[in-house]
Amino acid sequence: MRKYSIILIALLLVTGCKYESHKLTAQVLRSNGTLNVFAKSDVQGSISSVAGNNPNVTIKHGDENIVVIEQTQITIRGEVWGEIPENIKNVRINFSKNKFKIELD
């Protein structure tokens, strides 16, 4: 009986700490292939991709939290965050508690 009580308590703790995440994916066309964009957020968001002269991916988390990934740079909330080297194949963005974490690999 004690064993089942411990399992039940563990299940309640795990399900009580539920984290709902929203996942979005898109690609940016580059001269050397594609740049994969993966976004994970604790709030619902949207993603759109544009081809043409200036290919980019725009990720929106609410009205103010906008990330634009172009072929060579990332812009967050209207300011250039940094450049994307040619050898990078993936951009991973985690948005949680109004903060961004960006990984390039």
Tens-place pLDDT, residues 20-76: 568 889 999 988 899 999 999 888 888 888 888 889 999 998 777 889 999 999 999
Give pLDDT, residue 20.
56
Smallest Cα–Cα separation from 35: which of 74, 94, 90?
90
Give pLDDT, residue 38.
95
Smallest Cα–Cα separation from 102: which of 72, 76, 79?
76
Give pLDDT, residue 14.
43
Radius of gyration, alpha carbons of the chain: 18
- Residues 28, 70, 37, 90, Cα dihedral to 10°: 90
| Amino acid symbol at 96 | S
pTM of the model: 0.76
Give pLDDT, residue 13.
42
Burial of 13 (0-12, 13-18, 19+ CB in 10 A): exposed
